Amino acid sequence: MKVFAHRVLLDSAWAKNKTLIIENGEITDIVDGQLDDAIVASGPVVPGLINCHSHAFQRAFAGFSEQGSEGQDSFWTWRKIMYQFLAQISDVEAHIIAKQLYIEMLKAGYTSVAEFHYLHHQQTGEPYPALAQMAKALFDAAQESGIGITMLPVLYQYSGFGEKAPLDGQKRFINTTEQFNQLVTDCYELSKQYNNANVGIAPHSLRATNFAAIEQAVKHVRSLDSKAPIHVHIAEQTQEVDDCIAHSGKRPVQWLCEQLSLDANWCLIHATHITADERKAIIDTGAVAGICPTTEANLGDGVFPTAEFMQEGGTIAIGSDSHISVNAVEEIRWLEYAQRLTRRQRAVLANKAQASVGLNLWQAANRGGALATNKNTGVLAVGKQADLLVLDQQLLGRYAQSDEHLLDSFVFATGEQAITDVMVNGQWVIRDKKHDLETQSHEAFSALLQRLSS
């Protein structure tokens, strides 16, 4: 396949009048001018965004927890409602929800997703006949939608620090370390049946497991893949930080970095409440900070110190997490806006090398996302996977059009409605803002919501 673009954001900079030559899902060459048999992109071409953090089933839960409780609502009360909701979901429902979500992601600018998957077992808490049955439902949904997936089975064993017994609402998450490692192996073997799929692990959090189990799980997954992604929830809530200090005498990121050998394929999700020393510790290991701005705002988590972290050389990635919003540009926009609100300044996340906030953050999030998923994507360059978006030239034409302003117009002025076409792994999955399966998927999803809410 050949795709000609009048304007294309390459790894180094914007370029004009280039043809991307794509074979077996990969960009094999980029040449000047329009080749005779090339498909002509209708607008500017940019790399698709990598979504570093997803709990797919929570998309069906969006909107069910916004009623409030006289100022007493919090992450922890939200979690109780979420547990009640997920108790109804089987592998069949999980597939319907994930398929709808992944189609929405593609239309919104995501071309790859890291699925932080902890809904493992039957409603009773008993394992399915096949340990990876729920994971298979998500693999199937990704394959059918066309999105790339990094499956992250979650190690979850306790309800709190000190190895507290799991709550009833957590029974579907729980595995022994040995059972978990078997699940990871099963997912790893299963992934070979799918295109554009790989596997890592996700120790849920320091409160939900212990270091002995994490060490064993890391050793096991790295025996399967030496660069397997490893993600963990860390320091999302101040209560979590306080509980960690009470249990260990140390803050979560401090404890994690001292106890384990982190590297660039580790992703610390919601490292919201960290000190300057903890920022430095993350940066020194090369680990990625996974930030989920709309979910962190929706849950009242707090604001990650993005400006300081990036100025000090830290690597970020972006996730949509609970999917209260499925909109790649909104996550980028609110990453910047949160910094503006706390600092009462503008254009905070630009720098001397890149004055455009939109361009700087789009590229930074993709660099980190590629590390956090161990995927050969995130930029448009020879040797990289062909994951790209075609933007709506007519819509963007209402706003600033020069190279230095185009991504800012996309992120801050138009949003996801400016995406016309999406290619993943060399295959068109969105054309003229439509997915082939979106009507069928939407109908199944809507019927499911009616059943779940009745």
- Identify how many contiguous H helices and E strands the chain contains and give both numbers: 15, 17
Cα separation, 170 vs 182, in Å, equals 20
Just list the catalytic residues.
270, 321
Q: Cα separations (Å) of 427 from 21, 147, 163, 453?
A: 13, 10, 46, 36
Cα separation, 60 vs 204, in Å, equals 21
Look up residue 148 and give its two tokens.
Answer: 């790339």
**Beta strand spans in 10-75 (E):** 14-23, 26-32, 39-40, 45-47, 49-54
Cα separation, 114 vs 96, in Å, equals 18
Give just the sign of the alpha carbon dihedral 305, 307, 312, 313. Answer: positive
CB 337 within 8 A of CB 369: no
Q: Which long-range contacts (CB under 8 A, 24 or more apart) does 255-264 make?
A: 255/206, 256/206, 256/232, 257/281, 257/282, 257/284, 257/285, 259/211, 260/211, 260/214, 260/215, 260/218, 261/285, 262/286, 262/287, 263/287, 264/288, 264/315, 264/371
SS3 content of the chain, % helix, strand, coil (to 5): 40, 20, 40
Give just the sign of the alpha carbon dihedral 33, 35, 40, 46. Answer: negative
What one-letter code names the amino acid at 119?
L
What one-letter code names the amino acid at 359?
L
Computed on alpha carbons and rounded to an integer, the radius of gyration of the chain in Å comes to 21
Plot region of 138 (φ>0 → left; ψ -120 to 50 → alpha; else → beta) = alpha
Cα separation, 314 vs 287, in Å, equals 8
Cα separation, 259 vs 340, in Å, equals 35
Q: Where are the alpha helices (DSSP H) in 326-392?
A: 328-343, 357-373
CB 267 within 8 A of CB 246: no
